[in-house]
Each structure stands twice: as structure tokens, then as C-alpha cells.
Copies of this chain bind each other. A is one copy, B any other.
Amino acid sequence: MLPQSIENFIRLFAKLPAIGPRQATRLAFYLLRQGKSAVQELDHALASLGRLETCSQCFFPYEPRAPHNEQANLCTICADPARTKNVIAIVEKETDLLSLEKTKTFRGRYLILGDLARDGILEPTQKLRLKSLMTFIEKEVGGKAEEVLIALNPTTAGDIGADILKEQLKSHAKKITRLGRGLPTGGEIEFADEDTLGGALENRK
């Protein structure tokens, strides 16, 4: 008895992360209540999202530009001549890149690796991306980057992934670093676990 369009909407939206069938159903009726122009606006937003391309260097999305542009297949970071080519941060997700950008202290490039598997072992697409980074280092910065910052989460999977990346990249970087461990701002010593506190002691200054 539910209109086909609603059934279809629920089926597709229920598959999105953190949206189940219940939430998708509510969303459908919420949107219908908002009226056609609100739905159209979302529709256009979704359509233009679908027109984005993926940067051939770092795999971050970008608005497609005119094809005669030399840097036509690069994102704004990779196309920015002011950003050091010599320092590359490897992140799991686009949102990790955004978090690092918000600090406004990192002026290098990125490589988005994609979500790590639970065991931290690289998957075939991740190996390909790593290969493309090595090719970039060989072609653009003479075979050895100044620094590769492995910005993976301080978790077991992140640690395993980082070890693999270090091993793979050892001949392609003068320095391979990870994000420092320590107390998060606002955190309390009393509640910090041993690993965190150990990291904080090590990184004291």
C-alpha cells in the first residue's frame, strides 16, 4: 500500500551508514512534508555530488574543471603549488584529511588510503594507492620524500597498518613519522589509560 517511490526510497536510504529502515521511513515522510522544492534542492545536491571526480594523486574528491586545464584531474590541495610535494600524510578517510586541514599546520600533500580492515592488513585497492604514491615520489620528488606522516588511528589496526606502510615506504622517504601520542586536550590524567600516559611521558617537553 506504500507508494512505490517511497518503498524504493526507503530500500536505498536504509542501506546508508547510520540510517536504518525506520530512519529512512521517517526521512521519506519528513521530506514529503517539506514539499517539492525542498526535495528538489536535496535532489540537486545529490546530483552534483555525483558529478565530482576523484583526485588522481591523493584520491580526495574535486569539482571537475575544464579538460584543457593541465591540472584537470587534481583536487585543490594537489593543484596548489604552495603545498610541499616533499611531505605526504597518509590518512584512512577523507574526514581525517579534513580534520588535519582544520589544524592549519600541515602544509604537505595527502594520500587517502581508504578504511583499514580490522586486522590492519592492506587490501588490493590500498596497495594500488600506495604504489601510486611511490610513483609520485619517484617522479615528482626525486625518489625520496622528505617525510611521510602515517596519520592512521592509534588503534591496533592502525598500528599494524602503519608497520606495513613503514616497511613498504622505507626506501621512498627520509623520515617516516606517526602522529604523537599523549593526553588529549581537556583529558584528565586520572582517567588516561597506560598507553596514552606512556605516550604522554615519552612526548613530554
Interface residues of A (CB under 8 A from B): 1-6, 8-9, 12-13, 16-19, 23, 25-33, 36, 39-43, 45-52, 54, 61-63, 75-77, 93-95, 98, 101, 114
Contact = CB atoms under 8 A, between A and B. Distances in A.
The number of times this chain is found in the oligomer is 2
Contacts of A75: 3
A128 to B, nearest CB: 15
B95 A5 contact: no
A77 B2 CA distance: 10
Contact of A51 (B5, B31, B63, B93): B5
Contact of A30 (B17, B26, B33): B17
Contact of A76 (B1, B8, B43, B95): B1
Dominant secondary structure of chain A at its interface with chain B: helix
Nearest to A51: B5
B49 A31 contact: yes
Contacts of A95: 25-26, 29
A57 B55 CA distance: 52
27 contacts: A1-B101, A3-B62, A3-B63, A5-B45, A5-B52, A6-B52, A6-B61, A8-B48, A9-B46, A12-B42, A12-B45, A16-B30, A17-B30, A18-B23, A18-B26, A19-B19, A25-B95, A25-B98, A28-B49, A29-B94, A31-B46, A36-B50, A39-B47, A39-B49, A40-B47, A42-B46, A43-B46
